[in-house]
Structure 1
Amino acid sequence: MKATMLASRVAQPAHKEWEAELEDDPIIYEEAVLDDLRDAKLERLRTLQPFVLDNSLRETSVAAIRNHTLKDKWSIIRMIKESGLNQFIIASFNAMKQVDDQFALDMKDKGVICSNCYAFCEGWEQWDANRVPKKEATLGLQKMKAYGIQNALIECNFACRQTDWSKFGEDGLFALITERCRYVRRELSLPHRLRPAASFINIRDFTTAMVEVPDRVLRTVGRIGRMDPEYRPAGLMFEDPSGGKFPFELAPWVASVRKAMDDAGWMEGHFLVHIHRNYGLAQALVLECLASGADGVWAAICDEGAATGHAGSLATLVNLARLGNPHVRKQFNLVRMRNSAVRMTKLVTGAEPHPRTEVYGRRAELDREWWNEDGWGGIPFPVNPPTAKVRYGEGKTIDEEEPLEECCFPEDKLQQVKSLCDAEVPGTPGSRRVDACS
């Protein structure tokens, strides 16, 4: 039974004495399993320590006419800092020169690129005559090396139709992922950083691949989990760009991937989710994924994004806090995040959030006796964002602070950076989705 399979993957509920007696009655047994599964999911959401990779700089500018200037991006950086989020995506690099290149260069010049910064890059950009991805380091990885951005979000399509899988195969996919992870650890790590370089594998076509080639996905995930920990990725990522899947569709997929990670001994690996809005299911999908095996999100604070937007991190964290999750209340300042969501929306759209916007709209009711600057539910919010001293000088803005030692970068890389900004990949479309499954 599907419910029984999912229950075994999401959690291991305590053995019930009635199980043996009820196994002969499938209807009652199924109801009992579903009750057990519900309790296990709620317990996971209450105790989960979520990993939030902020994507406010990128998500809010996709298909938008605003947030494409350095001034806007620095404003958003300040909002991220004030919200207590200390892991964030600053750019997406491809064969096209864009504001992300100039912003990364500006951050480098100010000395604020450090071990908390991430950027997207392609897993592969070109194919040979046999439609097999080329192994050369992508332009995005080269740019990251030049800018000093050490954490790579490597985008891969596991069901890409441009690739001849009869020639590339699972072995080729795994070998290429391995080479990219080794490159990140070898070439992007800097001796003065607080942590070595890390990578995430973004299964960009996850919802397609789990329908068409689920075995390829799960076997490759298992092999990634068994990599040498020296260069193994920090985790996996995926998204549903259509927002069209139902919770009962995504949950078994997420649970099966988490099981593959656990079976490979990769229990500490992150599994991050990103869901777009479209059919009114976005936040429900995120919570279902978190309950089924994901352990974090990559999202903007507010809901703005391409088309109708996406499931922002604020609403997700508020729902976890409503369930009594102590880690959320201790780690994140939800009041400041809410204020940042309002300001960010106004910055990227030119207008206040719609009054009916959930959580941070003017009409949103959020237990007013709890929701105040002193804390929520009697638990004080952190006075300063966690690890603020690592990322910025405590109590200072970016304009006031001096570069930290770990943010320093060799000046002899400047010319290399400028040349990479002007570089082009022959025959490569100017989009970060160059190997999109289409």
Structure 2
Amino acid sequence: MDASAALLDDARALLADADQKLAQLRAIEPYLIDISLRENPVGSGIGHTLADKLRILPQLRAFGMRNIHLGSLDYPMPDELEVDDDFMLWLRDHGDDMRGCFAFTDIGTVRGDGSFAPSPSMRKLQAYKVPNTLHEIYLSDEGMAGLYDFDTLLRDLRASIGWLHANITGDNGGAPRILINIVDGCDALTNRLERSCALLEMLAGQDIEGVSIEDDRGTYLPFQVGACVAIARRCLPQPKKLVVHVHAGAGYENASVIEALLRGADGVWGGIPKQAAIIGHASLGELIANLVRIGNPHMAAYQVERLLPLATSLQELDSGQPVPDDVPVLGRNAYRLTLDFFRQQGSRPMDLPPERIGGRYGYRICPVVSDRPVIAGRLAEVTGRPAASFPDEVLDSMIRLMRRDLRAGLRLAYDMPAELLELHRRALAFFPSPMQAPSCETP
């Protein structure tokens, strides 16, 4: 075999490996817990009222979410109720169907005499009749400091799981679904491996739904998150669930979630919009869109055609302002073309046209690259006239004028309607037969 044939064989093997990973992602039916009612307002400057939460919950259910996190039962100041408390109390008192609903709780304590004292959050879970919980612990040195040592954690966690089973009525009258959320999971697994494996092996024998691992600051690289998941999967065999939650601290979040799924995670918890506790997180909206992108058939369980408007409306409610333009997938500029070459097409592998998730293409003028289709599209948006009504020669003149302006030292925002119409007027002046300049109809 000559060198070029060997190179081609290696290349085919590499592509085959990528195809195998795509097939794995297409086949997975991810275990999703929606936490839009809690995660997104945590990063909001204005938060949620009870009325907001009551409007959001039916939207999540209509979209297709079956596991919905209602809120956090505050640990450090349990006597000062939050809107989350009011919300769960309202659902209880109005007989709302809370099947599939979760709330955050923390562990209780085994007293010196051997009796068990449930935490205030556990008492609230019981009182509010929420059937399932993400039960939170810390496992790193820093996280455990001042809370418990490892032996105490193991003792109290076992007792907490037992109390939950004895006192919480789960979905349809059955046992509660309990996921142990290791808030500092990546820290613990990378820095205290023996301790982490010992805890996970203990949990493998407990009557729980599974375990959640967080990259709570979003600082671990995707392959590190993947390694943590792979370790946890070995310690926690199926059918126990293994889910992840990843913040956007360093910009790796969606890649980390994909890597986690490839390395053995069953699913993810997060909000539908991007907004989260820090600067964003690996949202369920982005994950669902990316699984639609690769052809995962299980996404048919969700109203994917409503994804973009739902995510937009939820984030605008949370923040009181528009979604940042440059958020991938869900931001306004994700589908505003600057050059027609970037248009995603349904016939091309890995593309996700905006219509698939309830959006449509828009146009944004960038003087260095914008071409005829983009300029015509933006003129159509601004004037209300069909894009085809703008002659190619006029569009070419607009391109020439933008280049000349930059060479002359002029930096003009041609995407703004007034500047765009002025550019169009200047282009018309090159032609002997007058063409009617359009007026501005839309911003």
- Structure 1 and Structure 2 fold alike (TM over 0.5): yes
- Structure 2 regions of 5+ residues with no counterpart? 1-9, 336-342, 347-352, 360-443
- Cα distance in 1 for partners of 2:62, 2:247 equals 25
- Cα distance in 2 for partners of 1:31, 1:372 equals 34
* Pairwise CA distance, 1:373: 7.3
Say if 1:123 and 1:180, in contact at 8 Å, map to a contact too. yes
Highest RCO, 1 vs 2 (Cα 8 Å, sep ≥ 6)? 1
Q: Report the residue type matching 2:38 in the other structure.
A: R
Is residue 289 from structure 1 mapped to residue 289 from structure 2 by the alignment?
no
- Cα distance in 1 for partners of 2:57, 2:213 equals 24
Is residue 346 from structure 1 mapped to residue 303 from structure 2 by the alignment?
no
- Cα distance in 2 for partners of 1:359, 1:164 equals 39
1:16-415 to structure 2, matched below 5 A, reads 38-93=18-73, 94=75, 95-96=77-78, 97=80, 98-124=82-108, 135-161=116-142, 168-170=149-151, 172-189=152-169, 193=172, 195-227=174-206, 232-262=207-237, 267-328=238-299, 330-365=300-335, 367=344, 371-372=354-355
Say if 1:150 and 1:184, in contact at 8 Å, map to a contact too. no
- Cα distance in 1 for partners of 2:295, 2:24 equals 11
Instruction: Choose 1 or 2 for highest CA Rg.
Output: 2
- Cα distance in 1 for partners of 2:13, 2:247 equals 31
- Cα distance in 2 for partners of 1:174, 1:68 equals 36
The 3 A distance-change label for structure 1 pair 35 and 363 is closer
The 3 A distance-change label for structure 1 pair 339 and 242 is same
- Cα distance in 2 for partners of 1:301, 1:162 equals 28
- Structure 1 regions of 5+ residues with no counterpart? 1-29, 377-438
Moved more, 211-220 or 288-297: 211-220
Q: Report the residue type matching 2:223 in the other structure.
A: F
Aligned-residue Cα RMSD (Å) equals: 3.3
- Cα distance in 2 for partners of 1:38, 1:31 equals 11
Q: What secondary structure does 1:149 align onto?
A: coil
The C-alpha deviation readout for 1:202-257, integer Å capped at 9, x for no partner, is 01111211122111111221221123xxxx11011121122111112111111111
The alignment of Structure 1 onto Structure 2 pairs a total of residues equal to 334
- Cα distance in 1 for partners of 2:133, 2:203 equals 16
Q: Report the residue type matching 2:313 in the other structure.
A: R
- Cα distance in 1 for partners of 2:176, 2:130 equals 9
User: What corresponds to 2:349 in structure 1?
Assistant: none
The 3 A distance-change label for structure 1 pair 81 and 31 is same
Q: What secondary structure does 1:237 align onto?
A: strand
The 3 A distance-change label for structure 1 pair 127 and 195 is closer
Q: Report the residue type matching 1:112 in the other structure.
A: D
The 3 A distance-change label for structure 1 pair 208 and 162 is closer
Q: Report the residue type matching 2:332 in the other structure.
A: R
Higher helix share: 2
- Cα distance in 2 for partners of 1:214, 1:39 equals 32
Moved more, 176-185 or 363-372: 363-372
The 3 A distance-change label for structure 1 pair 31 and 160 is farther
* Pairwise CA distance, 1:348: 0.9
- Cα distance in 1 for partners of 2:145, 2:219 equals 28
The C-alpha deviation readout for 1:10-34, integer Å capped at 9, x for no partner, is xxxxxxxxxxxxxxxxxxxx99997
The 3 A distance-change label for structure 1 pair 43 and 205 is same
